[in-house]
Structure 1
């Protein structure tokens, strides 16, 4: 996807969102036509995990992941979350081009990406934090959205406490648009949970690529 490399990174206006340990940068970065071409290329070429790699464990119970997913990365890199260890397959060309684009855009080079495909608004992601020990805590997580726009909701960990321990901190909701990039900067993932909620009225597919920096074991 050579067109991605020709985007004028200096012309992009980023929106900064900060509060109570939340630090986000958001912008629609990829022009609509290029984003649509990239979305279709990924639709035509990516193959997603099946079998045991499509099952997560929550409080000891196994569930099918309510979306499709696959991971790519540098040789030997793995990522463990929700009771599954995900191997990194070799980088496909369009995903590698996006990784290199992030280097040009923000000077960030990642060694792993998790790709999630949401068939429609019934596919979703529950509240969680990307704070696994193998993640580099000083590196932002870069999330690229293609296809159907979806609500992205963040909740402070203290607002999820039970009873009198609960602290009222309003959630933060962002509409992730086609061709957008969201940077979740430290210490966001230590303090805020995030989710892509169920939206039954949404019918279009979405592909999300979350680039991560994994520390060597």
Structure 2
């Protein structure tokens, strides 16, 4: 019995000691210290909202739009750009050859000119030009790794047209590239007539007969644009039956031109491009692939 009482006193002492310690020092666990309860947080802290308002600002970006092409379809002289290279100018003369005479000339040229579809080479790829061509001039004509042989025997109609253009413009020409666009599928791609054999600022006289085709021009982009033509200025010129177009000044330096394919049916068209060639040391000249 005495042993039981002694054990009870010992157990009571332990219980009393534990109870007194708990009441004296409340246990604070590491978890409760690091993560206080939500109730404690919101009841005992005061939060002050800032008077500043958040305003969303879009990042500043340069918005670029593709300019609408300028359409030139009236007779006149047009300065299309000004650059350190000089003034780029086109002169349009609709009806330079009247309709009745133009019909007769078209028939003569389609019948008598020795038209030929030639094979060109570009980047080691051989292809047929999407048009027929013929060359007149005392020097051979080399481009895209093919050479058109000299042909100093001008057709009488072509000689007459050359003299008429020279008399009306004051320019002189010694060579002629003839192009026959058989239908809407024939074309010529972007290019410039800027070869050294043509001189610094060559003058090109383009005389058209037959179906109306759109002559397109685009300005060369600045060097920092890395050849991006997306936002350059563009010009569209519908060339009608008997129309004369003169490109002069810095046009071949600052601009490119082409005759694109059409989506609708087109009758044949003959285009005559008169130019002046200056022979190099080899007695030949060359143009950029077209």
TM-score of Structure 1 vs Structure 2, range by shorter chain: 0.7 to 0.9
Using CA pairs under 8 Å that are at least 6 residues apart, name the structure with larger relative contact order, 1 or 2: 1
> Which one has a larger percent strand, Structure 1 or Structure 2?
1
Correspondence for 2:97 among 14, 26, 30? 30
Matched, 1:105 2:171: no
RMSD value over aligned CA atoms? 2.2
Superposed CA deviations along residues 159-202 of structure 1, whole A, max 9, x for unmatched, are 89867966722310000011001101021011111000000303
The higher radius of gyration belongs to 2
Matched, 1:82 2:82: no
User: What SS does structure 1 have at the residue aligned with 2:167?
Assistant: helix
Instruction: Give the distance between the partners of 2:238 and 2:161, measured in 1 at CA.
Output: 21
User: What SS does structure 2 have at the residue aligned with 1:198?
Assistant: coil
The residue that corresponds to 1:68 in the other structure is 132
2:162 and 2:173 in contact (8 A); partners too: yes
Change (3 A) 1:86 1:164: closer
The residue that corresponds to 1:56 in the other structure is 120
The residue that corresponds to 2:285 in the other structure is none
Unmatched 5+ stretches in structure 2: 1-73, 83-87, 281-290
Correspondence for 1:121 among 174, 184, 199? 184
Instruction: Give the distance between the partners of 1:111 and 1:117, measured in 2 at CA.
Output: 20
Change (3 A) 1:163 1:215: closer
The residue that corresponds to 2:26 in the other structure is none
Correspondence for 1:212 among 248, 268, 275? 275
Unmatched 5+ stretches in structure 1: 1-12
TM-score calculated relative to the size of structure 2: 0.64
2:140 and 2:150 in contact (8 A); partners too: yes
User: What SS does structure 1 have at the residue aligned with 2:109?
Assistant: helix
Change (3 A) 1:64 1:157: same
Deviation at 1:86, TM superposition (A): 2.2
User: What SS does structure 2 have at the residue aligned with 1:185?
Assistant: strand
Instruction: Give the distance between the partners of 1:107 and 1:182, measured in 2 at CA.
Output: 14
The residue that corresponds to 1:39 in the other structure is 106
The residue that corresponds to 2:69 in the other structure is none
Matched, 1:16 2:77: yes
User: What SS does structure 2 have at the residue aligned with 1:200?
Assistant: coil
Superposed CA deviations along residues 127-149 of structure 1, whole A, max 9, x for unmatched, are 11111221133441000000001
Deviation at 1:103, TM superposition (A): 1.7
2:221 and 2:227 in contact (8 A); partners too: no
The residue that corresponds to 2:211 in the other structure is 148
Instruction: Give the distance between the partners of 2:226 and 2:170, measured in 1 at CA.
Output: 44
